[in-house]
Amino acid sequence: MNVQLFINGKWVHAENQQTRSIINPFNQETIATAAEGTKDDAVRAIVAARTAFDEGNWPHMPASERGEMVRLVGQKIKDHREELAHLETLDTGKTLEESLGDMDDIANVFFYFAGLADKDGGEIIESPIPDSTSRVVREPIGVCTQITPWNYPLLQAAWKLAPALVAGNTLVMKPSEITPLTTAKVFEFFEEVGFPEGVVNLVLGTGTEVGSVLSESHDVDLVSFTGGIETGKKIMQAASGNVKKIALELGGKNPNIVFADTDFDTAVDQALNAVFFHAGQVCSAGSRLLVEESIHDRFVQALIERAKRIKLGNGFDESTESGPLISAEHRTKVERYIQIGLDEGATLAVGGKRPDADELKNGFFLEPTIFTNCKHDMRIVQEEVFGPVLTVETFTSKEEAIAKANDTIYGLAGAVFTADIDKAEHVASKLRMGTVWINDFHPYFAQAPWGGYKQSGFGRELGKIGLEEYTEVKHIFRNKQPQPVNWFQS
């Protein structure tokens, strides 16, 4: 399989003909060859998007027609669900079941935003000035660049592509250089549906080469980024040159607060899923367990037993519950954090190493890992590891749980498990996070906004607000009886 760039309505090689091998993290086999774009490719794509926005019909089409084209792409994603899920599992190692779920979510995102396309007719303001009208309209922002990570390749792209297009923008998408396959496939659908030249552009390549141009260019009006906090800071700086709008969806160190009155088995199962789903490579993973002291020993013991039984393997095997990490480099980073946890004096209760099984030797696997006796200021507790690593702390009051939960630089998501709904609502109101789950962990859907407080970023994706992020707000005032003002008399 060969993947190319899509610029101004054409599939093209990278300007310098360079390519990159795309690797299956389960066995390190090459599954595709992707064009490795350059700065010049990024510039060409931005020029195409700029021209399509400034001179083309796309921003001026009836919103319902744009919505219909976005809906058709959603339908194609639905029709190609199995093929896309297969590619996503090859590319990321996640289980096929998870990839199929992602594809359903992704089609729903396209359908949801397609449905919103023509619902905002603007707002009439009651003008305080006689003989005038006043109204507020939303307009597209212009050229949007969109940069996505490797953990949910097409899902994170969908959250950006669908609202940007429905709102009438043109765009340049750059997926992670190591997981471009499903995003590229959806650009084939854009072509088949007949998106006008230059409206949607795809540039593959690294962040330092392509991503930096997408963030810096003065021809870009908005950059929407999902990825790590350090990259987010660079993008923020790069974007300041022309004061372009930015949306940053960054990492998390998400607390999972478990009170003693909760249903024990449910909370154990949810805590396991919160942190180890997709090998912990989830921005909102419940990687910090805060458990009420009175049930700590029993809870942790149950969790350890369950963690030991997690079936690692090939994402295509039905019995596999978790795949590998994405790359050798990323596994090394997670292993470094495990060493940091040991050096800091946390107790390694389970895991912490590569599995012994022969059939896993070629994949980037790491055992589900739990650290107990964690102190709140340890790096392993404070920093995003982005792997199958759980830290456990205790609390004895809800105030302590809230204080510990809030005490990191992040504010993406968190959860509280308790049978006392008043207590749950109180905790939810105090958590400084973009999403709080009560007696659950992980749900997200097209209708509800997603995004972070604090250094987990700003801007929201999904929901009505996820569409508004891709619009400018304009106030139009009209004087129906123009008269001289007569302020200046000379």
Ligand X SMILES: C[N+](C)(C)CC=O
Ligand Y SMILES: NC(=O)c1ccc[n+]([C@@H]2O[C@H](COP(=O)([O-])OP(=O)(O)OC[C@H]3O[C@@H](n4cnc5c(N)ncnc54)[C@H](O)[C@@H]3O)[C@@H](O)[C@H]2O)c1
Residues that bind ligand X (CB under 6 A): 151-152, 155, 282-284, 444, 450
- Pick what 155 binds: ligand Y, ligand X, none; C-beta below 5 to 8 Å, kind-dependent: ligand X
Minimum CB distance to ligand X, residue 256 (Å): 14
Q: How far apart are CA 371 and CA 366, in angstroms?
A: 15
Minimum CB distance to ligand X, residue 425 (Å): 23
Select 341 or 452, whichever has its Cβ closest to ligand X: 452
Return the DSSP state at 450.
B
Nearest 5°: phi and psi at 90? -60, -40
Binding site for ligand Y (CB under 6 A): 147-152, 156, 174, 176-177, 206-208, 211-212, 215, 226-228, 231, 234-235, 249-252, 283, 384, 386, 412, 452
- Pick what 145 binds: ligand X, ligand Y, none; C-beta below 5 to 8 Å, kind-dependent: none
Residues contacting 232, CB < 8 A, separation 6+: 225, 248, 250, 457
CB-closest chain residue to ligand Y:
207
Select 227 or 341, whichever has its Cβ closest to ligand X: 227
- Pick what 251 binds: ligand X, ligand Y, none; C-beta below 5 to 8 Å, kind-dependent: ligand Y
The active-site residue out of 88, 177, 249, 335 is: 249
- Pick what 33 binds: ligand X, ligand Y, none; C-beta below 5 to 8 Å, kind-dependent: none
Select 395 or 450, whichever has its Cβ closest to ligand X: 450
Select 176 or 320, whichever has its Cβ closest to ligand Y: 176
Minimum CB distance to ligand Y, residue 200 (Å): 17
Minimum CB distance to ligand Y, residue 14 (Å): 15
Q: How far apart are CA 223 and CA 212, in angstroms?
A: 11
Minimum CB distance to ligand X, residue 156 (Å): 7
Residues 320, 366 contacting (CB under 8 angstroms): no
**Nearest by Cα to 287 from 379, 417, 390:** 390
Minimum CB distance to ligand X, residue 5 (Å): 26
End-to-end CA distance of the chain: 76
- Pick what 227 binds: ligand X, ligand Y, none; C-beta below 5 to 8 Å, kind-dependent: ligand Y
Select 183 or 372, whichever has its Cβ closest to ligand Y: 183
How many Cα atoms are found within 13 Å in the side-chain-facing hemisphere of 206? 5
Q: How far apart are CA 412 and CA 156, in angstroms?
A: 15
State how beta strands 143-147 and 222-226 pair: parallel
Select 151 or 201, whichever has its Cβ closest to ligand X: 151
CB-closest chain residue to ligand X:
283
Helix (H, G, I), strand (E, B) or coil at 314: coil
**Nearest by Cα to 250 from 328, 172, 322, 147:** 147
- Pick what 250 binds: ligand Y, ligand X, none; C-beta below 5 to 8 Å, kind-dependent: ligand Y
Largest Cα span, the chain: 93
* Residue 136 neighbours by CB distance under 10 Å: 12
Q: How buried is 476 (Cβ within 10 angstroms: 0-12 exposed, 13-18 middle, 19+ buried)?
A: exposed
Residues 110, 77 contacting (CB under 8 angstroms): yes
Query: Is residue 321 annotated as a catalytic residue, yes or no?
Result: no
**Any idea which residues carry the catalytic annotation?**
249
